[in-house]
Amino acid sequence: MLDETQFNNKERFGLIPMCSRFLLASLFAPLLALAADPVAPGSGPDMSAIDQSARPCVDFYQYACGKWIAQHPLPSDRSRYARFTEVSERNDKVLLQILEAAAVVKAGRGVTEQKIGDAFASCMDTATIDQKGIAPLKPELERIGAVSDHAGIFDETVRLHRLGVSVFFMFDSQADFKNSNRTVANIQQGGLSLPDREYYLKTDPKSVEIRQHYGEHVAKMLQLAGEPAEAAKAHAQMVLDLETILANNSTDRVSMRAPLKRYHMMTRAELSELVHFDWDGYFKAMGAPAFDSLNVSNPDFLKGIAAGIVDQPMEAFRAYMTFHLLRRFGDLLSEPFEKENFDFWQRYLAGTREPRPRAFRCVEAVDRGLGDLLGLKYIDVAFGPDAKTQITDLVNQLDKALGQDIQTLAWMTEDTRKAALVKLAAITNTVGYPKK
């Protein structure tokens, strides 16, 4: 992730990586339409988005995207805007209508409507949220405050991971990179708040400034949670110091893009030899299913942080875990937390001028927490069986056309042709939503 505060206006639109996608979308959309209807009118690129006054061999970006950018100024509640943002916004409006209707308490309201409607209504109830302040997190903060030894750190790490707070490292599941039919347990680097290790390690003036602002933000969040100003400032420095240790041992982003550099299958016994930690107890406490082997994305990260943080004072661990809890749930707390969260992460770091309307932020919150249930209602409203049948037929036609193309490609050898057809037949098309 790049520091969007350092972008110029053109880059701030988030369109440099999207530009080629947009032009491809303009080119392929008519082709997809033709696949469904060979005599469909309006075939070709969307010329209304292309700046034909620009010379494509001099500034292809301006040529491909110039008019679209001019017609779509950056909204004040966005740090980036692209063609797919328009699609997302249309979907958000449909989801908002669904949730507003589901939030109305009435006879005959089903279980799904009750769950998503109540979640949306509670998110919109700012009077109650502001009245409660930090109270919803008090039990968790007290648990962290009671940590006094490494056994306590272990217990609290499990507790926070189960709450979705990724302190120190991350544990999840993923497809086996060498066998996509198999899902494996996976441990990878984590525990940072800033977007990338370089934010902690670079020494240029902008990076130094970001870390200074970040330290001030951490201190403000701790103060809002009840810490005195001086203690909060000292604890903020501890948080930054501990995260810097994690950053120093994290793999750089370029290496992380290479799948084989993130593929280190090992047994649970080998993991225990790599880092002396109660992994069996951790996996059991996390409720993980039984497994004999797992992928460790960054073995050097685990070894490095085990050696680097072991001597940190308990006060630093408590400060670190406290802030990460506040960071994870700050935008769901009362207005002072929400404002401070926005001011640093969105306004300062990303360049967003103002928050999105709360209703749409609550749509996002419900979608994150109850996405499958909300998806069920979305299908009823916006993507019924007829739409799925039509798109499935279109995709099947594309598959058929690809197969015919492979059969006639002069540059393919017979062995390559056979392998390509096997690969084509292995593709599983999932349209709209899963069968189950």
Paired tokens of 236:
């903020």
Q: What span, in angstroms and rounded, lies between the C-alpha atoms of 140 and 326?
A: 10
- Taking all residues of the chain, what is their mean pLDDT, rounded to a whole number? 89
Whole-angstrom distance, CA of residue 297 vs CA of residue 285 = 21
Rounded-to-integer distance, Cα 330 and Cα 381, Å: 32
pLDDT for res 47: 83
pLDDT digits (tens, 9 = 90+) for 241-265: 999 999 999 999 999 999 999 999 9
Closest to 170 in 3D by CA, of 201, 192, 153:
192
Residue 433 has pLDDT above 90, yes or no: no
Question: In angstroms, rounded to a whole number, what is the distance separating the alpha carbons of residues 257 and 62?
Answer: 29
For residues 170 and 150, give the distance between their C-alpha atoms in angstroms, rounded to a whole number: 19
pLDDT tens digits along 45-81: 778 889 999 999 999 999 998 999 999 999 999 999 9
- Here the tokens at position 250 are 């994290």
Q: Whole-angstrom Cα distance, residue 293 to residue 409?
A: 43
DSSP states of 198-243: HHHH--SHHHHHHHHHHHHHHHHHHHHTT--HHHHHHHHHHHHHHH
* Contact criterion met (CB below 8 Å) for 168 and 188: no
Helix spans in 45-149 (H): 60-71, 83-102, 111-124, 126-132, 138-145
3-state secondary structure of 266: strand
Q: Is the pTM of this model over 0.85?
A: no
Encode pLDDT of 359-416 as tens digits: 999 999 999 999 999 999 999 898 888 888 999 999 999 999 999 999 999 999 999 9
- pLDDT at residue 42, rounded to an integer: 54
Cβ atoms 147, 156 nearer than 8 A: yes
Question: Does residue 28 register a pLDDT over 60?
Answer: no
| Each residue's pLDDT tens digit, 95-131 | 999 999 999 999 999 999 999 999 999 999 999 999 9
Point out the least confidently predicted range of 16-30, 173-187, 279-293, 394-408: 16-30
Residues 24-36, mean pLDDT to the nearest whole number: 42
- Are the CB atoms for 20 and 64 separated by under 8 Å? yes
Please give the Cα distance from 152 to 143 (Å, whole number).
Answer: 9
Q: Rounded mean pLDDT of 198-217?
A: 98
Read off the tokens for 156. Answer: 């609290």
